[in-house]
Amino acid sequence: MVLCTGHKSAIGNHDHMATFVEFSPETCQLITAGWDRNILFWDARSVKSVGCLNNLTSEAESMTLSDSSLVVAIDSSVIIYDLRTLRKLVHRKDVQIKCVQIKRLYS
């Protein structure tokens, strides 16, 4: 869906079910994760793929955004990616987390 007009448009797909969708206003990207163990990045303006994190060790169990960071729970790990470079910032193993969410406490 084009967010400003309400017009529906498919922008892409996963090889298996997509399980998480997030929108980043900072980068104007839709970010999707699926059972195919991929995280895909789509430019919401041009409706084109702009990146992929593929062949993850498992499917994402949870995913959330904070400014220009993407936080993903996979297996018993929390991984933080920089959305501007798609590089891994932090990787923490064995934290036994199934869900991640970031909330702003102030504006």
pTM, two decimal places: 0.74
- Considering only residues 43 and 101, tell me which one the structure prediction assigns the higher pLDDT: 43
Q: What digits encode the pLDDT tens for the residues 20-76?
A: 889 888 888 889 998 999 999 988 888 888 888 887 888 888 899 888 889 888 887
Within 8 A by CB and 6+ apart from 17, the residues are 34, 35
> Could you tell me the domains of the chain?
18-92 (2.40.10.480)
- Region of 36 (left: φ > 0; alpha: ψ -120 to 50; beta: rest) is alpha
Within 8 A by CB and 6+ apart from 28, the residues are 43, 44, 45
pLDDT score, position 39: 92
